[in-house]
Every structure is written in structure tokens, then in C-alpha cells.
Chain A
Amino acid sequence: MFPGDPDPESDLIARARSGDPDAFAELVGAHADRVYAALRRFGLDGGEAEDVAQEVFVRAWRGLASFQERAQLSTWLYRIAFNEAQRRLSRRGPPLAERDSEGESSVEAIAEASNLGPEARALDSEFEAVLERALSELPVEWRAAVVLRDIEGLSTEDASAVVGVRQAAFKSRLHRGRMRLRSLLEPYLGFEAG
């Protein structure tokens, strides 16, 4: 794209706003991966995330008139996704205990069940599995902060707007989430240091 060229996303948004569902479907295709991944990491399982991702986009279609173009479309979609995920999670009732009856976290349990030695723990795919599991053990609000800021790469301003809290409150959640995650991952991060 050259300076002065129209932004292709803005063009698609304009067409979608005028009622063109094919233009909107192109926008969905461009953002679906990130919305789905965020929903999973907010705490939904695969089937739920797929259903809710569709719902997010249908809601976005219906609400296009209220979308402020000075905001990023992705940030707006994250906001709808976060709200839909919270709605879905709230129907589940109280979360399962983070530790099993023997006091072992599921992150520790992964390592034990897989009989992973330190070398196996250092493998990227194994580490990513442990990281995803550790993330899922964070309280919902802390997890959302880490997902939006550190995985999805939103600014603090945008991420706090997505979850609907002031920046100071968001930073507090983010800090707590990061520190808990670091604590859960410490054995693996330590080994990686070599």
C-alpha cells in the first residue's frame, strides 16, 4: 500500500456499513483467528469459542453503526468478545478449584503426568502447553489482562477500555496476573535460562 491509497479495511468497513454482507465477511476472515484465540484464552473451550466467535461477529454486524472509526476495529471486536466470554463464563457457576485434592496445580500435574524431564520441558511445544495451562489457572480478570496486553499486544489504554475498567485498575490486574503466571512457570523459565 502506498501513501494516499485508501486503507483496505476502512473501505471494507464502509461497504459493510452500507449493508454489504460480503464485505463484512471479508472483515470476519481477517479478524477471526485473533477473536477465536482471545475467546479460548479468556477461558472458553474450543466448541464454545467457535460458537461465541460467530456471535461476536453477528453482534458486530448489527452494531456497525455505533462503531467509532477512530477506534481500531480489532479493539472493538475484542470488547464484544470479552463481554460475550464473560456472559458465557458467568453461566458456568463457580470455577473449579485451582488445585486438586492433593494440593497440586494442574501445571505441576502436566509435568508429572507426562513424566517430563528438564530437557523435555524446554521443548517449545511442551513449554507452550504448560504456558497455556498456567494461563488458564489465573483468575478470570487477571487472565484477561495478560491475554489482551501481553499476548494480543493491545496498549494499556485500549486493553483497559476492552474490559471496561480504569487504567490504574487494569494495571493492577495485569501486574498480579503476570506475577502469578511467572510464579507458576518459574521452574520452566529457570531452565530456559540455561
Chain B
Amino acid sequence: MAREVVRRVSGVGDLEASVATVGCPYKAGELASRARDRMQRHTGECPECRGVLNTLRRMLGRLGVLPPLSGAPQASDIAAAVRARLPEHNSS
């Protein structure tokens, strides 16, 4: 449902990929300004689309600040393991 709503709002098939970034500080400027204006006008009047965009904005904000994964190895351990697989430096 949400996808159809956003698709209808954008009215521009190719630009719909950017619709999800409207208002997102991380992706500012990605949407062409005319489409963005049209979207902003519509979401000012349509609570359903405004809700979709608000949750998208919130989700993108969280994705951009995800912490390191639990259980990740130390970068230094990976570096040491890789180093052990490389040949010695022959500087002569």
C-alpha cells in the first residue's frame, strides 16, 4: 500500500527511488527540485503520504548511525591474519 501511495505521489517512475530521501539530511539534493516541490505540496495535504515519508526519514536516520555489529573481530586481528598471508617485503 505504502509503495503505491508513494509511487502515485511521485508520478515519475525513475525518480521514485529518490522519494524515500525527501527531507533526509544525509541525502539532501538527490531528488530533483520540481519533484521535491510536488512531493512537499502533496505531503502537506495528505496524512497518509506524510506518515510514509516520516517513517522513511526516521528509518534512514537510524540506518546511517548503526553501531558496529556485535561479535565483530578486531580490525587489528584481521590485519595480522592478512599480513601473515603476504610475502615479506623485498626492498633490494
Contacts and interface: CB of A to CB of B under 8 A. Distances in A.
Interface string A132-165: 1000000000000010001101001000000000
Interface in B1-58: 2-3, 6, 14, 16-20, 26, 30, 52, 54-56, 58
Interface in A36-75: 36-37, 40-41, 46, 50, 53-54, 57-58, 61
B2 A182 contact: yes
Contact of B79 (A26, A50, A131, A183): A26
Contact of A179 (B3, B83, B91): B3
Interface in B49-85: 52, 54-56, 58-60, 62-64, 66-69, 71-73, 75-76, 78-83, 85
A11 interface: no
Contacts, number: 127
A189 B73 contact: no
Task: Summarize B's interface: helix, strand, loop or mixed.
Answer: helix
**Residues of B in contact with A, size category:** 35 or more
A181 interface: yes
A54 B82 contact: yes
**Residues of A in contact with B, size category:** 35 or more
A179 B20 contact: yes
A178 B20 contact: yes
A118 to B, nearest CB: 16
Contacts of B67: 128
Task: Summarize A's interface: helix, strand, loop or mixed.
Answer: helix
A26 B79 CA distance: 7
- Please indicate which of the listed interface residues B60, B63, B76 has the most CB atoms of chain A within 10 Å of its own CB: B63
A57 B89 contact: no
A25 interface: yes
Contacts of B16: 175
A22 interface: yes
Given A32-B79, A54-B81, A131-B63, A175 B58 contact: no
Given A19-B89, A57-B82, A168 B14 contact: yes
- Please indicate which of the listed interface residues B17, B30, B86 has the most CB atoms of chain A within 10 Å of its own CB: B17
Nearest to B87: A21
A171 interface: yes
A185 B14 CA distance: 25
A41 to B, nearest CB: 8
B69 A57 contact: no
Interface of B: 2-3, 6, 14, 16-20, 26, 30, 52, 54-56, 58-60, 62-64, 66-69, 71-73, 75-76, 78-83, 85-91
- The list of the 7 closest CB pairs from A to B, nearest first, reads A171-B17, A175-B17, A32-B75, A21-B86, A29-B79, A25-B83, A32-B78
